[in-house]
Amino acid sequence: MLPSFEELKKNTTCPECKGTNITLGYTFGEGGIHKKLNVLGMDAYRQVTHTTMLVCKTCGYVIKAFAVEPEKLP
């Protein structure tokens, strides 16, 4: 279980610019986490969850990324 956003924000400093203006970002669709399958001898991928990221609003650096539903990962 992820800590609350306010707790993460309070305890996070950007390693690139040392900024403290942190926000949340999300990936969906092609940016999600996929698992590799083999369908009829060919590689295929299926999304199993999406990602939440802590992003520095000053420089855009992605500080941390978390799988939203890690229990779905293979």
pLDDT-based confidence at residue 4 (cuts at 50, 70, 90): confident
Dihedral angle, C-alpha 50, 54, 60, 63, nearest 10 °? -100
Domain extent listing, the chain: 5-72
Q: Residue 60: its pLDDT value, please?
A: 93
Q: What's the Rg (C-alpha) of the chain?
A: 15
Please report which helix (H) or strand (E) contains residue 10, including its range: helix 5-10
Mean pLDDT of 63-74: 80
pLDDT of 25 reads 86
Of residues 53 and 34, the one with the higher pLDDT is: 53
H-helix or E-strand spanning residue 7: helix 5-10
Q: Tell me the pTM.
A: 0.68
- Do 52 and 65 meet the contact criterion of CB atoms below 8 Å apart? yes
- pLDDT tens digit string along 12-36? 899 999 999 998 888 876 666 656 6
